[in-house]
Amino acid sequence: MSTTELDLTAVPGIAAHALSIAAFTPSGCFDWPGRIAATVTLQGCPWKCAYCSNPEGHDPAAPGRLAWSEVRDQLEAHRGTVEAVVFGGGEPARQDGLVAAVREARSLGYAVGLHTMGAHPGRLASVLPELDWVSFDLKGTPEMYTRITGEDTAGYQAWASLELIQHSGVDYEVSFTVDPTVHTREDVFATVRHAIRGGFHAPVLEGPRARRASREYRAALGGRGLYDVIAHDDLPDLARR
The binding site for ligand SF4 (CB under 6 A) comprises 45, 47-49, 52, 54, 89-90, 117
Q: How far is the CB of 73 from ligand SF4 (least distance, A)?
A: 27
Q: How far is the CB of 232 from ligand SF4 (least distance, A)?
A: 25
Q: How far is the CB of 15 from ligand SF4 (least distance, A)?
A: 25
Q: How far is the CB of 199 from ligand SF4 (least distance, A)?
A: 24
Nearer to ligand SF4 by Cβ, of 139 and 194: the residue is: 139
Q: How far is the CB of 201 from ligand SF4 (least distance, A)?
A: 19
Nearer to ligand SF4 by Cβ, of 45 and 182: the residue is: 45
**Distance, CA of 195 to CA of 237 (rounded, Å):** 14
Asked if residue 90 has a cis previous peptide bond (ω within 30° of 0), the answer is: yes
Nearer to ligand SF4 by Cβ, of 48 and 79: the residue is: 48
Q: How far is the CB of 45 from ligand SF4 (least distance, A)?
A: 3
CB-based contacts of 222, cutoff 8 Å, min separation 6? none
Nearer to ligand SF4 by Cβ, of 12 and 60: the residue is: 60
- Which own/partner pairs from 219-222 qualify as long-range (CB within 8 Å, at least 24 positions apart)? 220/50, 220/181, 221/51, 221/180, 221/181
Nearer to ligand SF4 by Cβ, of 51 and 200: the residue is: 51
Nearer to ligand SF4 by Cβ, of 52 and 188: the residue is: 52
